[in-house]
C-alpha cells in the first residue's frame, strides 16, 4: 500500500474514533458554547494545536462569537469560556492558565490526548495535567507522540494527527452550538470570505449588529 493511502486510512480511522467515542462530550461542549453566546458571555481561544483556532475566528463560514485570547490583554470573566489545546497536556504555563481560569469561574474546554498525557510526567508544581483541571476535556484520540505511522527507512513515526483531529472536533461542536442557537431563536452572524464579492461589507455589518452582545 502506498504511503499516501496508509495515511488516509489512518486519518479516517482516527476521525472515526473521535466521532464514536467523543460524541457526547463534543455535544456538551457545543451546548456550553451556545449557552454562553446566548447570554452575552465571551468565548475565547488560546493557541489550539499550532494555530488551528484561526480556522474559526473571523474566517469565511465562521461564527462571530469566537474571539482570540491575548495574554496580558484579555480580561477573562466568570462565565466566559476559554478553549485550550495541548496534545501532551503538560506544559506548565498552560496548566497555570487553566488552573487560574477555572478558579475564577471561567469554563475551560480542553482538546488533548488522554493517552499522551498519561504517558508523560506532569511538570506543573500541582502535579496535575490539563485534563485534570479543565471543566470539560475532549480527547483527540491521537497516539502518544501523536504521529500516525511507522515508515520503513524513517527513524521516527510519521504524520502528525492533532491538526486534523482538532479541526474536526472544533467544527463539530460549533455545529452543535449553531444548531442549538437557531432552535432557541438566536441567529449567530456568520462571516463571509473577505475575498468574495460583498464579503467585507457583510462582515462589517454583522460586527456592528452583534456588538451589543459583546461579540
CA nearest to 167, candidates 8, 46, 49, 4: 49
Question: Residue 63's pLDDT is what?
Answer: 94
Question: Residue 212's pLDDT is what?
Answer: 72
β-bridge partners, 111:
85, 138
Question: Residue 214's pLDDT is what?
Answer: 66
List of residues 6+ apart from 44 with CB closer than 8 A: 66, 67, 68, 69, 74, 76, 80, 81, 82, 83
* Rounded CA separation 28/157 (Å): 33
DSSP assignments along 102-165, one per residue: HHTT-EEEEEE-HHHHHHS---STT---GGGTSSEEEE--PPTTSEEE--TT-SS-EEE-HHHH
**Which positions of the chain have pLDDT values less than 50?**
none
Question: Residue 117's pLDDT is what?
Answer: 92
The cell for 31 is: 451546548
| Neighbour count for residue 6 (Cβ, 10 Å) | 16
Q: What's the distance, Cα to Cα, between the start and end of the chain in Å? A: 48
Question: Residue 62's pLDDT is what?
Answer: 92
- In the chain the domains, ranked by start, together with CATH numbers, are 3-213 (3.40.50.10490)
CA nearest to 110, candidates 171, 163, 46: 46
Question: Residue 47's pLDDT is what?
Answer: 78
pLDDT digits 0-9 by tens, 155-207 = 999 999 999 999 999 999 999 999 999 999 999 999 999 899 999 999 999 88
Question: Residue 149's pLDDT is what?
Answer: 96
Amino acid at each position: 500500500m502506498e504511503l499516501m493511502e496508509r495515511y488516509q486510512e489512518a486519518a479516517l480511522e482516527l476521525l472515526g474514533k473521535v466521532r464514536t467515542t467523543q460524541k457526547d462530550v463534543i455535544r456538551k461542549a457545543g451546548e456550553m458554547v451556545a449557552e454562553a453566546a446566548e447570554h452575552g458571555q465571551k468565548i475565547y481561544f488560546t493557541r489550539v494545536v499550532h494555530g488551528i483556532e484561526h480556522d474559526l475566528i473571523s474566517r469565511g463560514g465562521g461564527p462571530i462569537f469566537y474571539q482570540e485570547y491575548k495574554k496580558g490583554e484579555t480580561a477573562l470573566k466568570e462565565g466566559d469560556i476559554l478553549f485550550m489545546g495541548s496534545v501532551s497536556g503538560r506544559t506548565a504555563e498552560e496548566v497555570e492558565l487553566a488552573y487560574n481560569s477555572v478558579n475564577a469561574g471561567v469554563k475551560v474546554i480542553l482538546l488533548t490526548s488522554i493517552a499522551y498525557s498519561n504517558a508523560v510526567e506532569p511538570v506543573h508544581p500541582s502535579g496535575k495535567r490539563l485534563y485534570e483541571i479543565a471543566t470539560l476535556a475532549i480527547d483527540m484520540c491521537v497516539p502518544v507522540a501523536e504521529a500516525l505511522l511507522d515508515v520503513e527507512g524513517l527513524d521516527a513515526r510519521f504524520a502528525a494527527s492533532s491538526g486534523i483531529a482538532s479541526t474536526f472536533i472544533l467544527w463539530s461542536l460549533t455545529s452543535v452550538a449553531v444548531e442549538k442557537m437557531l432552535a432557541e431563536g438566536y441567529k449567530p452572524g456568520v462571516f463571509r470570505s473577505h475575498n468574495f464579492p460583498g464579503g467585507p461589507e457583510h462582515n462589517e455589518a454583522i460586527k456592528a449588529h452583534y456588538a451589543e452582545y459583546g461579540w
